[in-house]
Amino acid sequence: MKYLARRLAYAVLLLGTISIFSFALLQWAPGNFFDSMRLDPHVSAQTVNAMRARYGANGPFVVCYAGWIRSLVKGDMGYSFAYGTAAGPLLWTRARNTLVLTASGTLLAWLLALPLGIWSAANKGTWGEKICGAATSSLMTIPDLLLSLILLLLAVRTGWFPTGGMISSGAANASFWSEIADIVRHLILPVAALTVSILPMLVRHIRSAMIDALESPFIRAARGHGIPRRRLLFVYALRAASNPLITLFGFSIAGMLSASLIVEVVLSWPGLGPLMVQSILARDVYVVIGIVMLSSVFLVAGNLVADVLLFVTDPRIRVE
C-alpha cells in the first residue's frame, strides 16, 4: 500500500508539473484564438475585447491557470472557443472513441505478438523464424501514414469496409447488436492500421526478452529436470521474461492516444486525433491543453499499471 501511495503521489505531482508547463507554453506562444478573430472584418475590436474579458484571457498567468484548475475540478476543462462549449464534454466523447479504437488495437496487437514472439524465440535460427523476422522488419519500415493510406485505398477499391466514421447514419436507430456490429465494421480498418503499426515492435521485444530468458541457467536447470517444452516456454520462460514485457505493456498503454493520431486523421475516426489537429490550427488553447493532459494521464496511468503489475508479479520488488 505504501508503495502504491508513493507511486500515486509521484503521478499527481508529475501531472501537476505537466499542466503548468503546457499551460505556460500555450499561454506565452505568440498568437491566440482572439488574434485570429481580429483578422475577421465582420468582428469588431470591442467584441473581441469583450470575449477576452469574458473568458479571462486578459489576466496574468496565475489567474488564468487558477481559473483553468477550477474549471477542471468542475469537469469543464476550460472553454472551446471554436465550438463555443465547455472543452470537457467535447473531449470526453472524442476520448471515448479513441479509447475504443486504441484499446482494441493494442489488445489485438498483444494477442498476436505474444505467441509470435514466443514462437520466434523458441525457433531461433530456423527458416520460419527468419521469414517472421524479415516480415516484422519490413512492417517496421512502413510509416503509419502510408499504411493508413494503403488501407484506405483498399477500402475504397473493394468496398468491403466503411471508409470513415464510427457508425453508419441509419445504424443509430437499429437494435443494440446491429449498432455494435456496425461499430465493429467501422473499427476493422483503423484497428488493422494500429495493430500493424505496433505489432512488429512488440514481436521483436517479446522475442528478445524470451531469448534472454531461455538462455538463463535456471531455465537450463529446469530443462535438466525434464520440464515439458510447452510449460517451459509459457510458464517458466515467459514469467522470467515478464518484467521487460510488463514495462513495455505500460508504455503501450501510455502511447495509446498518441499512436492513433495519424490513423484517426487519415481514416476519419471521430477521436481525439482530428480534434487535436483542428484545435491546434484554430488555436483553441483549452482543447489542446485538455488533449495534452489526457495524453499525460495515459502516460502516468500506463506507468502506474506497469509498476503495480511488477509489484504483484515480481517478489523481488516486494522484498526491496
Which of 40-48, 159-167, 187-195, 310-318 is the region at the interface with another protein (rule: CB under 8 A)? Answer: 310-318
Tell me which residue of 189, 124, 195, 143 sits closest to 163, measured CA to CA.
189
The nearer residue to another protein, 40 or 215, going by C-beta atoms, is 215
Confirm or reject binding of residue 103 to another protein (CB under 8 A): no
Phi, psi of 86 (to 5 degrees): -65, 145
| Binder of another protein out of 3, 8, 223, 312 (CB under 8 A) | 223
Rounded Cα–Cα distance for residues 90 and 287 (Å)? 8
Distance, CA of 120 to CA of 97 (rounded, Å)? 34
Sole binder of another protein in the list 38, 54, 130, 220 (CB under 8 A): 220
Grid cell digits, residue 11 = 503521478
Please, which of residues 169-198 interact with another protein by CB under 8 A?
A: none
Interaction of residue 319 with another protein, rule CB under 8 A: yes
Cα–Cα dist 269/161, whole Å? 13
Question: How many residues contact another protein, by CB under 8 A?
Answer: 19
* Nearest approach, Cβ of residue 218 and another protein (Å): 5
Provide the grid cell at 35. Answer: 488574434
Selected range binding another protein among 68-76, 178-186, 223-231, 246-254, rule: CB under 8 A = 223-231
Which of 240, 248, 305, 310 lies at the binding interface for another protein (CB under 8 A)? 240
* Of the candidate residues 224, 254, 280, 295, the single one contacting another protein (CB under 8 A): 224
Q: Which of 86, 154, 167, 227 binds another protein (CB under 8 A)?
A: 227
Can you spell out the DSSP letters for 107-118?
A: HHHHHHHHHHHH
- 237: amino acid identity, one letter: A
Handedness of CA 125, 131, 137, 139 (dihedral sign): negative
**Using the rule CB under 8 A, which residue among 222, 261, 295, 312 binds another protein?**
222
Report the nearest approach of another protein to the CB of residue 213 (Å).
10
Q: Which of 27, 49, 216, 258 binds another protein (CB under 8 A)?
A: 216
Could you say whether residue 130 binds another protein (CB under 8 A)?
no
Does residue number 236 form part of the binding site for another protein (CB under 8 A)?
yes
Q: Give the list of residues 6+ apart from residue 165 with CB closer than 8 angstroms, or none.
A: 186, 268, 269, 270
Residues 6+ apart with CB under 8 A from 183: 100, 166, 167, 171
Q: How many residues does the chain have?
A: 320
Interface with another protein by CB under 8 A: which residues? Answer: 216-218, 220-227, 236, 239-240, 313-316, 319
